[in-house]
Chains A and B, each alone.
Chain A
Amino acid sequence: MGPSVSLVFLFYFIPVILTFLIAFTAMDRTLSWRFIGLGNFSRLLGIGARDPLIPRILVNTIVYTLGALPVTIIGGLLISVLSMRVRSGVGLFFRAVFFIPRAIPPVVYGFLWAWSFEGTRYGLFNAIRAALGLPVVQWLIRYPMVIVILANGFLGISLAMLVFSAAIATIPQDLTRAAEVDGASEGQVVRYVILPLLKWPILTMTVWHLMSFLNSYVYIMLITGGGPYYATEVWSLYAYHAAFTQYRYGYGASLTALLVVVNVVLLLFVLKAFGMRRMLARGKIEV
């Protein structure tokens, strides 16, 4: 326990404190610490009042996060349960297929989606359509949010499935055998035996991916760039654009700080909903 605490404290905690400090400065690329107090935050709120895009960005962020989360969790459950039902070789194959998004470099994954849904004849799906004699569809103009949700959601499946299937595999066989002996069908075994035992991993994945989706912008940036015309611009991407194209780290840090606060609030909310306290009351043996 000791080493882990100190390590995490050192490498994570201190930089986080530093970041919070940076939020109160006007640090730019020159990395000079010029403290301007609450200057950044007031600008932020000032922007909120004057920049007409903020409402749309908020909506986008909510839609995106609430869209991608089910894809990941439900998809992850689906794949892990199904793949463990079929022959183990076949199951492994499918798990590998869904693991691929994490195995390939992130930029390649983003590029893959951008190319697949490219609006010209040379994008993958349009090329297939063209070969079938169908006209080209401008996917990224007509359905940008859906594509972005799917892309990130499926990426999340890779981890969810990994964790869920590992968790399922640790369930002692006696439990499921007992249920089957009692006459339970496949579906019932899943519903009443497996899922309840997966409560903690599901909580972990939900919470983690919730924050991931709130904070991630890389894939959205690669696939739609936030477009067309801010249709897929989410908060984190907006913060990135504002901070990094202008290299105003102080401002960027303040936007991030706000995002962190939002993250924490949501986090606590979800934890309460899942009844985390009750789950933690399991340490029965004392040192």
Chain B
Amino acid sequence: MVYKRLAKIVPYVTLVVVALPFLTMYVGFFMRAFGEKMTLGIIPERWSLYNFRFLWQPIAWGLEQTTMWTAFGNTVFFAAASGLIVTTICMLAGYALSRIEFRGKTFFLVLQLILHAVPGPILLIGIFFLLLYIGILHRIPGVALARAALEIPLGIWMAKGFFDGIPWDVERSAMIDGGTRFQVWYKIFLPLVKPGIAAVFIWGFLFAWHDFIYVYTLLPGTVKLMSTLIQSLLATEVIDYGYLAAMSLIYSIPPLGLFIFLQRILLKVPIFGGKGAA
């Protein structure tokens, strides 16, 4: 009996122990977002929402004024576009790689990983010229495409894995029932790999959300994005950490929210029958 009780507590305790240092770090840092001015200690001297003023006040952008919400909206559009592109393509490709036999499959997969070996900034120059010649240099969709392309390789690998997890019987019965391959993919497989879709989408979204160097270099200065806003806070040697913490907090909420939302909706109950709440 005692053993059973212990066994039940162990996961909780482990999780808490492992997570505790990090929670301390996060809380310790983000507390300063709620302080009035910067202090040397962890606990702010005076609590206020002063650092969050960018939520309702206009912000300087170069010589103009803008609001945080414009930048926010642009970033959401950019990240969502990138995420969607990644998800669509990876889901298609993943299915193909999982189910369809064709030559050069191994090579293709390995190639994806090789591409990941080259770091982004070096590619930046090449991509700049590429976009220039195609003519979509200074537009958000073009950059979203470029950004998406960088994450697709891993996405394809991930997607294939998810499709692999579906037993073959499903396939067989679906094919027997008739319908094109695409229909099979769309109607039967996609719902079964929902957690995979969530994972891939978060993946693509996240990297576009955080991206700075690509959007800054490839888009004109008038396009307002949150990553640039955060970078501008770090430009000098006298950084306002309270303000930075506040803005980072707001900046982190969409990805985190998306993560939680997708996990709730698309993840099923724990698989150790009956141990978790539905």
By a CB distance below 8 angstroms, the chain B residues around A79 are: 15, 18
Q: How distant is the Cα of A1 from the Cα of B14 in the complex, in angstroms?
A: 43
A interface residues, Cβ below 8 angstroms from B:
1, 3-5, 7-8, 10-19, 22, 31, 75, 78-79, 82-92, 94-100, 102-108, 112-113, 115-116, 122, 124, 127-128, 154, 159, 162-163, 165-173, 176-177, 180, 186, 189, 194, 197, 200-201, 204, 207-208, 211-212, 214-215, 236, 249, 252-253, 256, 259-260, 263-264, 267-268, 271, 276-277, 280, 282-287
By a CB distance below 8 angstroms, the chain B residues around A96 are: 256, 259-260, 263
Q: How distant is the Cα of A165 from the Cα of B171 in the complex, in angstroms?
A: 24
Knowing A163-B158, A201-B161 are in contact, say whether A124-B28 is a contact too (CB < 8 A).
yes
Q: Which residue of A lies closest to B23 (CB)?
A: A97
Sorted from nearest, which 8 A-B pairs have the closest CB atoms? A15-B126, A11-B149, A18-B126, A263-B117, A166-B195, A103-B255, A283-B101, A200-B161
B208 interface hit (Cβ, 8 Å): no
B277:A89 contact, CB within 8 angstroms = yes
Classify the secondary structure of A's interface with B.
Answer: helix
Q: How distant is the Cα of A231 from the Cα of B47 in the complex, in angstroms?
A: 40
**Residue count of chain B within 8 Å CB distance of chain A:** 107
A162:B199 contact, CB within 8 angstroms = yes
Q: How distant is the Cα of A286 from the Cα of B171 in the complex, in angstroms?
A: 12
Q: How distant is the Cα of A94 from the Cα of B23 in the complex, in angstroms?
A: 10
B199:A78 contact, CB within 8 angstroms = no
Of the candidate stretches B53-61, B66-74, B90-98, the one touching chain A is B90-98
Q: How distant is the Cα of A15 from the Cα of B125 in the complex, in angstroms?
A: 8
Q: How distant is the Cα of A263 from the Cα of B105 in the complex, in angstroms?
A: 20
Best-buried of B24, B102, B149 by chain A (most CB within 10 Å): B149
Q: How distant is the Cα of A83 from the Cα of B89 in the complex, in angstroms?
A: 30
Q: How distant is the Cα of A252 from the Cα of B124 in the complex, in angstroms?
A: 13
CB pairs A–B below 8 angstroms (13 shown): A3-B89, A7-B148, A15-B126, A84-B272, A89-B277, A100-B256, A163-B199, A165-B195, A186-B272, A197-B165, A200-B164, A208-B154, A212-B116
B37 interface hit (Cβ, 8 Å): no
Q: Mark B255-278, 1 if CB is under 8 A from A, else 0.
A: 110011001100111111101111
By a CB distance below 8 angstroms, the chain A residues around B268 are: 169, 173
> Within the complex, what minimum Cβ distance (angstroms) separates B224 from chain A?
16
Q: How distant is the Cα of A214 from the Cα of B119 in the complex, in angstroms?
A: 10
Q: How distant is the Cα of A113 from the Cα of B28 in the complex, in angstroms?
A: 11
Best-buried of A85, A103, A124 by chain B (most CB within 10 Å): A103
Q: Which residue of B lies closest to A13 (CB)?
A: B115
B166 interface hit (Cβ, 8 Å): yes
Knowing A83-B15, A201-B161 are in contact, say whether A14-B126 is a contact too (CB < 8 A).
yes
Q: How distant is the Cα of A11 from the Cα of B151 in the complex, in angstroms?
A: 11
B125:A283 contact, CB within 8 angstroms = no
A103:B160 contact, CB within 8 angstroms = no
B118:A19 contact, CB within 8 angstroms = yes
Q: How distant is the Cα of A84 from the Cα of B125 in the complex, in angstroms?
A: 43
A170:B150 contact, CB within 8 angstroms = no
Q: Which residue of B lies closest to A193 (CB)?
A: B271
B190 interface hit (Cβ, 8 Å): no
Knowing A7-B152, A173-B273 are in contact, say whether A99-B256 is a contact too (CB < 8 A).
yes
Q: Which residue of A lies closest to B259 (CB)?
A: A99
B25:A112 contact, CB within 8 angstroms = yes
Our pick among B122, B156, B162 for the contact of A253 (Cβ within 8 Å) is B122
By a CB distance below 8 angstroms, the chain A residues around B263 are: 92, 95-96, 165
Q: How distant is the Cα of A107 from the Cα of B235 in the complex, in angstroms?
A: 12
Our pick among A12, A88, A215, A283 for the contact of B150 (Cβ within 8 Å) is A12
Q: Which residue of A lies closest to B172 (CB)?
A: A285
Best-buried of A17, A105, A208, A280 by chain B (most CB within 10 Å): A105
The residues in B between 110 and 155 inclusive whose CB is less than 8 angstroms from any CB of A are 110, 112-119, 122-123, 125-127, 129-130, 145-146, 148-150, 152-154
B206:A102 contact, CB within 8 angstroms = yes
B273:A167 contact, CB within 8 angstroms = no
> Within the complex, what minimum Cβ distance (angstroms) separates B265 from chain A?
11
Q: How distant is the Cα of A80 from the Cα of B150 in the complex, in angstroms?
A: 26
B202:A16 contact, CB within 8 angstroms = no
A19:B126 contact, CB within 8 angstroms = yes
B29:A115 contact, CB within 8 angstroms = yes
